[in-house]
Structure 1
Amino acid sequence: MACPRCMAHWTHEDLRAWLAPVPGRRRMRLGLTHVRQMLARLSNPQDAFPSVHVAGTNGKGSLCAHLAARAAASGNLVGLFTSPHLVNVEERARIDGRPIDEKEFDECLALVRKASEETPSIQVTYYEKTFLVALLSFMRAGVGRAIIETGLGGRLDATRCVNADFCAITTISEDHLDILGPTLVDVAREKAGIYRPGVPLMMFDPDNEEIESQVRRLTGHDFLLHRDNSTDKPWEKWYNMASKIGHHMGWKKDPMDIRWPGRDGTVHMSGNVAVRLSAAHNLEGISDEASRLDRDAVIMIGFTQKDDLDGILAPLIDDETSRMIIHAVITEPEHGRLPPHSAQKIGDIFGSVINHSFSNDVLSAFEEAFQRASDQNAELLVMGSIHLVGDVLSVLNPLKHDLSDALLVHPPRQPS
């Protein structure tokens, strides 16, 4: 299904220009009509394999990474769809742990473009295009299993169209409350919209009786509650949940060497500095990072636009936490779905509580933060937008522009 005629019409530059978001037009929209029409034109690639479908506020990408690794360790050829990406858009579609290559992405994107331009034409968002590319690439590779992360919500997210035989919900918190709310129960209801009758749905214990009750009502006997009262870090908690889901799926082998940059807590040692990347970008994530600071740290921080930035940053200004933050280097992410938050705004929130400085670009910000951490024998914590984390990952990578190994989620599948 390579469609060489499509590629003959469009160069790589043509296709990437078509993929790029149109100024003033949303990258995402809630609703399934356009996606279903596109899938029909593309011969319904989502029906070529079963999927585990994962929704939630925080942790859904991490759970997906663990699930993909676990399925692969048990011999499955796995397709993994996640968003957003750290560095390259090809990361959104991984097969056997590795992002698809540029050529495969372009060939699948050409098929998507061709389908969208048939009469009558269908307008497809950036997110929908990447999702359709992923499904096509999975079908072409003959994957036996897909792990699919929702983008926003669940009930009306494009990924709701996949053929799921297991569903999971991670945390429920206030991110995107303006879209999915107005209450947390409303958010939970939207995310539980990934449920299909007769398909098990496992939910991470929300520690909220009203939310749990609402999801139980929607899912009936298919509801499974995952409780984790351990003091493990989030990355380990998602490993635990993936293990339980793996038991239901018959994936018996424990995976090794799972990586999920910016979310797995990996410490990169460079000289005398321990560098940790964290994509904590909302109140839940920032609160968790603040609670786990146990030594002096320099932070490098930057966000794309957020509502209630004061509230999101409040955990860092807490007396106990702020005493451990020696200095904050504030910058602005250089790419992303939304414009960056003004570095000055973050500085105003920190005020005199946290010593801070500003840097105009990510490389300069990292160099300054690294030097300060080295001088003070402190940890360097890079946090905020996932796009900022991606930029720094490129700086840290010894091969610079070749990030193929750094972006590998898990080793190749193990034959059964």
Structure 2
Amino acid sequence: MPNAKQWLDLTRDNGMSLGLTNTHAMIERLNLDFSNMKVIHVAGSNGKGTACSLMAASLTLSGVSNLMYTSPHVSRIEERFRVNSVPISRQLFDSILEEIHETAQGKDGLRSIVLTFFETTFLIAALCANRTNVEVMIVETGLGGRLDATRCIPADICLLTSISCEHTDILGDTLEQITAEKAAIARPNKPIVVRDMADEGFTKSVLFECKNAGDESIGEEKSPAIPYFVSIPGDKNIKDEAEILVKKLFQIMGLSVQYLEQAKDEVRWPARMQLIEKESNLFLLDAAHNPSGLLRVIPELIEKIKTLSPVVDGKQIWTLIFGTSPQKELDEMLSYVSQLCDKIQPTKIYLTKPLGGRYPGIETQLLAQYEWPIENILQFENAEKVLQSLYQNSFSSNGLIVSLGSLYLQGNFLKHLGLDSDEELSILPKQ
């Protein structure tokens, strides 16, 4: 019989399961109660994590106790569960995991319940929120919304961030289909703040899901949700956009927005446009991992490269590191990386392989076959080997080191840069 941690690792073998049955059954077995807290449920393609972290940071600064559940983790699993902006302790994690493990095994004549890794981590978050008696729980969906495990708990308000065509093999081939799956987080008689995509099909899908809100399979009654569409000016970056959406959501909830601006200035979302100085080198890590996400951060990346990279003989010096997990949109992703390189040509490009993801990273030999804009292409099997190579060079040779392509790759770098402690992974600096 495996222990709780071994069992958690084994749940990875159960793959992905879109459906609410097992998670709902576990919530009932654990007797979880969310009536004494406010629950905010967030779905979308891009900007979910930024919005969640901004909410958590603002609530923390306001003195409102909160738990934020996001996925995946960058460096270690406790990051998925932040209480008052700090990852929970390993001791608390182990204790909660043990209870979920025992409950899933079944006893007193109850059947055992087979859980996926994601379902298990979400249940850890739900039980942790109950144990710590937080006032607000912020929940980020894993994939989609309608059949995501996070849909199993009641929510007081929902947020739908920017939508793009992603996971088309699972969520549907069109923006309308994908929107419908994500907008299905809308709860009966509850508000949902929607990032307006200014697209007729998108709006139609959102309104249909709001009109038909409620999932009877988990005990909800059918009744319309209340949509609030929010337009975002085209010149806003992801953080600006998150601030606009969160401000609207807080106002609807009656929560203070007093610390929202401070939270925006101070929030540190690991591996999202994260600047790091180490060993006389300057790193910029960003975890944009799909084409639409990368396209949105390119203007900010260009600005960072212009302002932070050294100039030698009239040329800006910067190094690109790229590695990614398998994805259907790889060609599109690489075309956007090329766009970045065309704007300001890198001095050298390191291709590497992220470790620790659900699927093995793409082999560097395959990435090297792509038509890169320069000839100086180096291949290393992992982040640690990349760092060993970079440390042999000076700052004037490496310039600004920009790492892109995978959340897991950025997690690998944070680990080997020694930046994976609780304090480093907190989304707020020590107050």
Counterparts of 1:8-27 in structure 2 under 5 Å? 14-22=3-11, 24-26=13-15
Show the counterpart of 2:56: 68
Output the amino acid matched with 2:38.
Answer: P
The Cα of 1:135 is off from its aligned counterpart by: 1.0
The Cα of 1:315 is off from its aligned counterpart by: 1.3
Distance 1:46 1:242, change over 3 A: same
Show the counterpart of 1:162: 153
Show the counterpart of 2:215: none
Show the counterpart of 1:4: none
Q: Deviations over 1:72-130 (max 9, x none)?
A: 23321101100000111111111111111111111111111111111211101111111
Distance 1:339 1:271, change over 3 A: closer
Counterparts of 1:145-184 in structure 2 under 5 Å? 145-184=136-175
Which of 414, 420, 424 is 1:393 aligned to?
414
Counterparts of 1:355-366 in structure 2 under 5 Å? 355-366=376-387
Work out whether residues 20 and 126 of structure 1, in 8 Å CA contact, stay in contact via their aligned partners in 2: yes
Partners of 1:370 and 1:251 lie apart in 2 by: 46
Partners of 2:246 and 2:146 lie apart in 1 by: 22
Partners of 1:110 and 1:219 lie apart in 2 by: 38
Whether 2:123 is the aligned partner of 1:132: answer yes
The Cα of 1:371 is off from its aligned counterpart by: 5.5
Count residues with an aligned counterpart. Answer: 397
- TM-score normalised by length of structure 2: 0.86
Which of 100, 112, 121 is 1:121 aligned to?
112
Which of 289, 292, 295 is 1:284 aligned to?
292
Q: 5+ unaligned residues in a row in structure 1: which ranges?
A: 1-9
Partners of 2:197 and 2:275 lie apart in 1 by: 29
Work out whether residues 73 and 253 of structure 1, in 8 Å CA contact, stay in contact via their aligned partners in 2: no
Percent identity over the alignment? 30
Partners of 2:43 and 2:235 lie apart in 1 by: 23
Aligned to 1:94, what secondary structure does the other structure show? strand
Partners of 1:339 and 1:269 lie apart in 2 by: 29
Whether 2:72 is the aligned partner of 1:84: answer yes
Distance 1:374 1:22, change over 3 A: same
Partners of 2:152 and 2:284 lie apart in 1 by: 36
Show the counterpart of 2:236: 232
Work out whether residues 322 and 354 of structure 1, in 8 Å CA contact, stay in contact via their aligned partners in 2: no
Distance 1:396 1:236, change over 3 A: farther
Show the counterpart of 1:205: 196
Output the amino acid matched with 1:253.
Answer: Q
Work out whether residues 79 and 146 of structure 1, in 8 Å CA contact, stay in contact via their aligned partners in 2: yes
The Cα of 1:311 is off from its aligned counterpart by: 1.6
Partners of 1:353 and 1:30 lie apart in 2 by: 42
Q: 5+ unaligned residues in a row in structure 2: which ranges?
A: 212-224, 307-315
Distance 1:319 1:387, change over 3 A: closer
RMSD of Structure 2 on Structure 1 (CA): 2.3
Output the amino acid matched with 2:337.
Answer: L
Show the counterpart of 1:216: 207
The Cα of 1:38 is off from its aligned counterpart by: 0.5
- TM-score normalised by length of structure 1: 0.89
Partners of 1:178 and 1:345 lie apart in 2 by: 22
Partners of 1:241 and 1:22 lie apart in 2 by: 35
Show the counterpart of 1:103: 91
Partners of 1:208 and 1:272 lie apart in 2 by: 47
Partners of 1:370 and 1:350 lie apart in 2 by: 27
Distance 1:412 1:363, change over 3 A: closer
Partners of 2:327 and 2:180 lie apart in 1 by: 23
Partners of 2:33 and 2:357 lie apart in 1 by: 28
The Cα of 1:230 is off from its aligned counterpart by: 5.1
